[in-house]
Structure 1
Amino acid sequence: MASFPLMLMAACLLMTSEPGSCYEYHSVTCEGSEAHLNCGQGHVISVLRAVYGRQDKITCSYGRPASQIQNDHCSRLSGKVAERCNGRMSCSIKASNSEFGDPCRGTYKYLDVTYTCEEPGDDSHEVRSVTCENSVAYLKCGQGLVISVLWADYGRHDRTTCSSGRPASQIQNVHCSRPTGKVAERCNGRMSCSIKASNSEFGDPCRGTYKYLDVTYTCEEPGDDSHEVHSVTCEGSVAYLTCDQGLVISVLRADYGRHDRTTCSSGRPAHQIQNVHCSRLSGKVAERCNGKHCCTIGANNLEFGDPCWGTHKYLDVTYTCYGLPRSSKEIYSVTCENSNAHLTCGEGHTLSVLRADYGRHDKTTCTSTRPFFQTQYTCCSGPTGKVAERCNGKRSCSIQANNWEFGDPCWGTYKYLDVAYTCNAPVIAANPEAEIQ
């Protein structure tokens, strides 16, 4: 059964002439079909809540045996829709177990998404670059500004982009997607950057399909507190990336291999340092470390693979430390381990979680009556989307700060849940049963 979007009509208390900026949209997609979220020109998606499972016996029940629709307590909140779609004008994602896992085996499920369409803002200056396969993408910012990649995907999402002169067989597969961190690694923090849109760079997500590289980025001021840090870690050791208090890591480039005969050469026989054309760019460091105050990762073949057997390698990382953007409207909540975090907004307002982290970043927060050894380790970080999944779109929300909810990023350390959120402008629901066929 195909997906069917429902629009929950909502009127802004503060009226605006801009279309689409005041409405919540409700999209329900039956298992096996594809959800299509879409905003009008000049607006971008902001996912409030996404649930995969079954919460009643009626939705997506046509033609299904009773055994497949009886379990209506099957629910899995997911941040994957927000990760894939937030900040984009349109987005597609399949309602399937392969995307979201199977919260209730034998039950026919559906994906239930609530989202809004928002203006990106005058200060975002988003730039979109689309580069056909085997051509070179050029990203560029003006004098004094640097690139910040928001989204990069190599594949195909429609039949029109990069289709000129191509046979139908090469443009029919529009479910070909490979989100990639490689563009961010190569380009973030630079005034200009080039990268080839090719299978050799990004792998081949759909053989036989003619693909393109789709990148969205902004041009930002580097700021006085944005400085490049260069870290080199010899094979077999652990890389330790760290920023000053209040700043977080942004990896610009990470490479595991060997580029010269002097780095990490002490005590090594000649044959282990002769190959200086050994390179493996990796997005793993960015995935592991971006947005954290500090981070560790082993420089070894187990983590990064072996780009040159028999050569003694090293991990070469360039990163910056930057301050997270702050807003006068942001509300901050810090909850000590094993206590309940309570997030709340005023009448008619709803929660929108900006950041959430479970761990420890200093030696002072949540230290009362705690022994010394439980508060000394401050490189304990676990950014989490669970708070956003649980709380976005609600007026108030509670969640316990514990290892069962968020996992244990640092055993033996007493942790806390650190959340930044805003309260969205009030809306009044009107005619929630309205359906657009």
Structure 2
Amino acid sequence: MSRKDLGARRTSGAEVDDATATILHVDMDAFFVAVELLDRPELRGEPVIVGGAGGRGVVSSASYEARRFGVRSAMPMTRALQLCPNAVVIGGHMHKYREASERVMAIFRTITPLVEPLSIDEAFLDVSGATRLFGGPGEIGARIRERVVTETGLTCSVGAAATKFVAKLASGKCKPDGLLVVPEDDTIPFLHALPVGALWGVGEASEERLRSRGIRSVFDLAHTPKEALVRLVGRASGERLHDLAWGRDPRGVETERREKSVSHEQTFAVDEPDHAALEREIRAQADAVGARLRRAGLTARTVSIKLRWADFTTITRSKTLPEPTDLGRVLFRAAKELFDAAHDEGRPVRLIGVRAGELAEPGGSAALDLWGEAAGDEAWDAAERTVDRAVERFGPGVLRPASLLGRGERRDGREGLTERANSAGDAPAPKP
């Protein structure tokens, strides 16, 4: 989960009266670092950081020893090494994390078929049907922790509660390598003792806004009139936060999880001022996003771009498409339109990204457009699927649009073909 202030660490034993706490959230501890230390056990107990070591490197994961110095995920590596100059930096190895994740998830599925992976290193489990075989939720949580460390050498933290939201808070509260069971009757006391920033959807800005009105704890928020919350943070957020503060979360464990978006982004080694070069990067990202949509059998209805300038100012812009698509060409047209409207010519760009949202399985029939830009999309669809087959057989880069030929030949450090894929299971996204 994202970095939240949950107060002092708290654990419980497996013997807690927990018949109602049948939703488990299992979260691996400092997962990327822990996997790397399997091959480098001599670094145990040392401050270790996994991430990019270059000037634009970002922390993906930090050992708990490094975190004591203030190192956090998503922090620029230069800042992390200022805080902890003796840290050992290790580059990420995604294939190792995927293999470890598969082994861990397989353990979960021997306990219950109701497993909902949230990312490469965390999942929800519904163990209501497993209690006859394995005992209460607390005993099951203890069993999972024991098996994970025995069979993989990794540790995990387990939260058990009556709802997904509280189970996830519980796993964060007992980190690292802990177990915390929150029976249903204890849900409100558990929640109301937490700082308001623990609630999902309360970021730095909204937390500051709430605190300025004297709302410092979940108890304070729960006892604030709903309409007052709505005036502070908006209708949707106000109503959702009020429900969460009273433990209301009707969501069940979903074994088939659909991605909400697919995206790629690139942080340049040197800030890129050239509009044409940035446009080529957008084209490459749009093609990569389209290919991933086709592999997943999904289409997208919205396209967004993300721009971060040299001064770290960041904006996003979005557009709804006339028809859902999985074509890179269509995604690029929309992304280019957004980029042209948002980019200040000559202003150096630090990061650029393309995201496809409102995903769904293809269905229905597209509107017929004989004269507009979409008239050639049917032929382009066949072309992109031909590229998919060629890439599958011969590897990336074997075919690409003419506008992208020659990429990678520059020597100024700016070029980089959309190496960061942002979707569960793809790239080592920063983790707490």
Q: Which has the higher helix share?
A: 2
| TM-score, normalisation: structure 1 | 0.25
| TM-score, normalisation: structure 2 | 0.26
